[in-house]
Chain A
Amino acid sequence: MFISIFGAIEAGVIYAIMALGVYLSFRVLDFPDLTVDGSFVTGAAVAAIAITNDVSTVLATTLALITGFIAGSVTGLLNTKGKINPLLSGILMMTALYSINLRIMGQSNIPLLNQSTVFTRLSEIWSGLGIDSALNQGLSAIGASSLPRTWSILIVMLVVTLVIKFITDYYLKTEVGLALRAAGDNEKMIRSFSANTDYLKIMGLGLSNGLVALSGALYAQYVGFADLNMGVGMIVVGLASVIIGESIVGTKSIMRTTFAVILGAILYRIVIALALRSTFLDANDTKLITSVLVILALVIPKLISTHKESKRKRRKRIALQQRAKGEV
């Protein structure tokens, strides 16, 4: 139980980078970008092929990010210069990426088990530090029986993800970042303040898919393989993270919303892990559970507010009736 939740949190923290990317397109640019399903795999594919060709792991991961940026920019070009609607631009790019990803990989699955990845490199450095044994001692002290093999992935990924979060927060408050947000909010207005909205959208989608591809590259190294189909439904996972996080943490400020998105990604993985532990659901049901989660996260807050509203009205009406009776 503990181990599967621990694994879910690890994966969740890696997925959170993808979710931040989806936040950029879906919320900031108001652009439901389906490129994500493809660019996540592109990231995994580029990293895997680079690593199996003895490129250093950090460089391989960086290459993945750049390739994702390019893929997202192309979606932006299709939308702004080609005047293709946002959904269709994303679908076209996602479909094209399926073939491109296969071209990159040369086969539909690349194992990375015996390769050195960011995480194997990490655990080499990590094991010397003795943090694991300290943390695990603490865990056994509070009565945990099965202990995680290493804390390195969780802790380092948490740091990486938070750094990306803080960079995103900062970026969205810069002059360029403000213009990017305005492009998603009121395009006509920001054009009247001399911002090139086409350029902003292309760049925004590039950054978004760069993060998605980075997440894909790290995820492939985490699970030890890249697979052509590992991105199927990824956009819905990203949306689930954004929507779940926002409905729990709120969207008062940018900093808060990006935090919400990260928490949403982790919660999403935990919910899936718990659901899969039940006897009647198996791994093939993940996509179904994901969709149901998104639907619930969208519908429940609305139901709650409708309910509250009708309760408020009823209360008022009753109060009025009682007052009327009293006056008679």
Chain B
Amino acid sequence: MLEVNDISLTFNEGTPDEKQALQDINLKLSKGEFVTVIGSNGAGKSTLMNIISGALLPDVGDVQINEKKVTMMPEYKRSRYIGRVFQDPMAGTSPTMTIEENLALAYSRDKKRSLRPGVNKKRRDFFKTALNSLHLGLEDRLSAKVGLLSGGERQALSLLMATFTNPDILLLDEHTAALDPSRATLITNLTREIVEKTQLTTLMITHNMQQALELGNRLIMMDKGQIILDIAGEEKQALTIEKLLHEFQRIRGEQLGDDRAILG
């Protein structure tokens, strides 16, 4: 489904700010896999996701989606296959447009946009059913401007918009990190529900180890631009935070404990 081969990327090469963000990354996701990604700040998690989505181009290496090379395909074309939710709840929706208009934008993701109305009776019914699954009552506020929604509601809507057209890949970059704990739990639960129901191939970055353990069927840990741990299946089910910290120490020979961010 998704293949990342020998990807490296260095920012600001040849300047004092030079930073190798990714080093020889290899990653393969098969259909329906739900992978959680953890790692300290600056480990390169977002950079990896940006390379998959096409927001950044790698120095070397390539990206394949469905056996098709997309390394140089522009971001907007690639997003036909990729659903994304960003950390900032403001980033995934258009605030001056209504809920139904936002859904219509997302609905056109894998189609050619035409000069027909974006919202019609049939679509409105479909949007209502889809919004129902969020359990937030948004289906009764179809013509409310999205800018009026709370951060949690906006993020739930973003999640729906990213997933309801069944993209090949779903990328989530700390999409609960900017929310208060109860909203974060809401979005986490929705994520679990949606991915379970649609069987989307998902890559989810999280700063919260507990969340990384609870969700998904595979876990990878990144550090200093490399994938240092990749655990799936029953081994992943049996994983605990202590074991993870221990693994990190074993691999890196240093303590991870001082990085509070990763504990969440």
- Taking Cβ atoms with an 8 Å cutoff, the residues of A that contact B are 170-171, 173-179, 181-182, 185-186, 188-197
Contact A196-B76, Cβ < 8 Å, known A173-B117, A175-B115, A179-B113: yes
Residue of B91, B97, B118 ringed by the most chain A CB atoms within 10 A:
B118
A192 to chain B, nearest CB (A): 5
A175–B119 Cα gap in the complex (Å)? Answer: 8
A115–B17 Cα gap in the complex (Å)? Answer: 67
Interface stretch of the complex, out of B104-112, B124-132, B239-247: B104-112
A176 touches B94 (CB 8 A): no
Residues of A within 8 A of B155 (CB): none
> Which residues of B88-105 have CB atoms within 8 Å of chain A's CB atoms?
90-97, 101, 104-105
A171 touches B115 (CB 8 A): yes
Closest-by-CB residue of A relative to B110 is A194
Which interface class (under 10, 10 to 19, 20 to 34, 35 or more) fits B? 35 or more
B114 touches A174 (CB 8 A): yes
Find B94's partner among A171, A173, A174, A182 (CB 8 Å cutoff). A182
Closest-by-CB residue of A relative to B165 is A193
B53 touches A186 (CB 8 A): no
The answer to the question of B75 belonging to the interface, with a C-beta cut-off of 8 Å to chain A, is yes
A178 touches B114 (CB 8 A): no
The answer to the question of B79 belonging to the interface, with a C-beta cut-off of 8 Å to chain A, is yes
Residues of B within 8 A of A173 (CB): 101, 117-119
Contact A179-B97, Cβ < 8 Å, known A173-B117, A173-B119, A191-B79: no
A72 to chain B, nearest CB (A): 19
Find A178's partner among B79, B86, B97 (CB 8 Å cutoff). B97
Contact A175-B114, Cβ < 8 Å, known A182-B97, A185-B97, A188-B91: yes
Residues of A within 8 A of B118 (CB): 173-175, 177-178
Contact A197-B76, Cβ < 8 Å, known A174-B114, A179-B113: yes
Residues of A within 8 A of B252 (CB): none
Residues of A within 8 A of B74 (CB): 196
A175 touches B108 (CB 8 A): yes
B104 touches A178 (CB 8 A): yes
A192 touches B117 (CB 8 A): no
The answer to the question of B31 belonging to the interface, with a C-beta cut-off of 8 Å to chain A, is no
Closest-by-CB residue of B relative to A175 is B113
Closest-by-CB residue of B relative to A170 is B117
> Which residues of B101-158 have CB atoms within 8 Å of chain A's CB atoms?
101, 104-106, 108-110, 113-119
B96 touches A181 (CB 8 A): yes
The answer to the question of B80 belonging to the interface, with a C-beta cut-off of 8 Å to chain A, is yes
B94 to chain A, nearest CB (A): 4
The answer to the question of B77 belonging to the interface, with a C-beta cut-off of 8 Å to chain A, is yes
A80 to chain B, nearest CB (A): 12
A194 touches B79 (CB 8 A): yes
